[in-house]
Amino acid sequence: MHWLWKWTIIGGCLLVTFFFISCMAIVGMYAGGSSSPTGCLETQPAQAVAAVADTTQWDEEQREIAGLIIGIGRERGFSDRDIKIALMVAMQEAKLRNPKVATDHDSLGVYQQRPSQGWGTPQQIVDPVYAINKFYDVLATVDNRDAQSLLDVALAVQNPSRKAYLSSNNYFPGWEDEADALLAGSGAVAPVVTGVRQVVCEQALEPEVAQVASDWQLPLRDPYRLTSGFGSRIDPVTGERGAFHDGLDFAAPAGTPIYAIADGVVIEVRVTAVSNGWGNTVVIDHGQVKTRYAHMQHQPAVQAGAHLKAGDTIGEVGMSGKSTGNHLHLALYEGGTIEQRSSGPVYVPGEAIDPVSFLQEKGLKP
Ligand SMILES: [Zn+2]
């Protein structure tokens, strides 16, 4: 056969592969990068797809996602066990589909990755090639994973804090058999040619550390209910009318993580067993304002003097101090002074300001 014909056929085959996941061509992959002056690296993400057998269990969209997970995994040299985990997590998180609208917080795409947790922009995350490569990027950082259970490896990538309440039965219901079947029925891997290039900046992806676009964010990301606003109210403990409430109350389950609402320096950490006052408390100086986070369940997760980034975890919701239920009391102040006491620095509040209107100015609606 003439060489030109050969290449025409291979080219046509690649196009067919991209759309129908059926071609059996095996062609070498290309990868590589070039440095840009911004400290970011422009790379070609691994883009490959495996043939997946037609089954009644999975429809065309689901088989396409499975084909990408297997293809990209093989292309990047991951073991079948790693690829199986990647399949099982995708089955659990979004049923091997690519949801482009968030229904749980800001979770998007094949792996329900969250922009607020540093996984990428919403546009990136809803690109399955990007999302799958991101999953494998983090999977590659899990040491010793062959010695760990499938669930432990999966949650090490997705969210280690969920280990506390998830078991294989509720996170991987039947998915191991399904993933084994897909892998066993999968065929050759072929490159996907989309021309998409990806810009990867130098900071390592750490799913537990938020990298936020905005300078300001809300103190809770899990569901909460606002129970008491700023200003005069009936005191919930004394029943006294007109007691001034200097903050905003977010009712949430005990243990809900609390995040710093902006960059700042911790100016007070209070640990107390006294059932009065603010209980276990952190105060952060953000320059423009100071924020107090009160009634934490345990000793706060930060120490006085620590420099924080917006979104750093500082403690957990609780009901220490004067509190009738689990909630975060968030207060914002201007001015005030810091007194050095034997127990450490103590912030003497300046003027309390309304958290709702302040946050609204920052584009946030608590
Ligand atoms: Zn309060």
pLDDT of residue 190: 78
Q: Which helix (DSSP H) or strand (DSSP E) does residue 228 occupy?
A: strand 225-228
24-28, 97-101, 193-197, 347-351: range with lowest mean pLDDT: 24-28
Q: Which of 7-16, 49-58, 201-210 has the highest mean pLDDT?
A: 49-58
Q: What is the dihedral of CA 244, 246, 251, 254, to 10 degrees?
A: -110
- Examine the pLDDT at 207 and tell me if it is beyond 50: no
Return the higher-pLDDT residue of 305 and 194. Answer: 305
Tens of pLDDT, residue by residue over 78-105, are 999 999 999 999 999 999 999 988 877 8
The residue to which tokens 């997705």 are assigned:
158
pLDDT of residue 18: 47
Query: How many A from CA of 248 to the centre of ligand 1?
Result: 6
Query: How many A from CA of 269 to the centre of ligand 1?
Result: 17
| CA pair distance 207, 224, nearest whole angstrom | 22
Query: How many A from CA of 47 to the centre of ligand 1?
Result: 51
The average pLDDT across 294-306 equals: 94
| CA pair distance 136, 205, nearest whole angstrom | 12
The average pLDDT across 301-308 equals: 93
| CA pair distance 355, 330, nearest whole angstrom | 8
Query: How many A from CA of 350 to the centre of ligand 1?
Result: 17
pLDDT of residue 242: 64
Query: How many A from CA of 296 to the centre of ligand 1?
Result: 12
Tens of pLDDT, residue by residue over 221-266, are 988 898 888 887 666 666 666 678 899 999 999 999 999 999 999 9
Query: How many A from CA of 171 to the centre of ligand 1?
Result: 36
Query: How many A from CA of 244 to the centre of ligand 1?
Result: 10
Tens of pLDDT, residue by residue over 99-135, are 988 877 888 999 999 888 888 888 889 989 889 999 9
The average pLDDT across 137-159 equals: 92
Domains defined for the chain, CATH in brackets: 3-201 (1.10.530), 225-361 (2.70.70.10)
Query: How many A from CA of 312 to the centre of ligand 1?
Result: 22
The average pLDDT across 14-31 equals: 41
| CA pair distance 200, 254, nearest whole angstrom | 37
Query: How many A from CA of 313 to the centre of ligand 1?
Result: 20
Query: How many A from CA of 249 to the centre of ligand 1?
Result: 5
Average pLDDT, the chain: 81
Cα radius of gyration rounded to whole Å, the chain? 25
Query: How many A from CA of 263 to the centre of ligand 1?
Result: 23
| CA pair distance 292, 274, nearest whole angstrom | 18
Angle, in degrees to the nearest 10, between helices 80-94 and 128-139: 130
Query: How many A from CA of 361 to the centre of ligand 1?
Result: 21
Structure tokens at 123: 């546009």
Q: What percent of the chain is modeled with pLDDT above 70?
A: 78
First to last CA, the chain: 68
The average pLDDT across 307-315 equals: 94
Query: How many A from CA of 365 to the centre of ligand 1?
Result: 18
Query: How many A from CA of 122 to the centre of ligand 1?
Result: 34
Q: Which helix (DSSP H) or strand (DSSP E) does residue 124 occupy?
A: helix 122-125
12-16, 34-38, 69-73, 332-336: range with lowest mean pLDDT: 34-38
Other C-beta atoms closer than 10 Å to the C-beta of 301 total: 16
The residue to which tokens 């304002």 are assigned:
289
φ, ψ (nearest 5 deg) of residue 154: -60, -45
Query: How many A from CA of 297 to the centre of ligand 1?
Result: 15
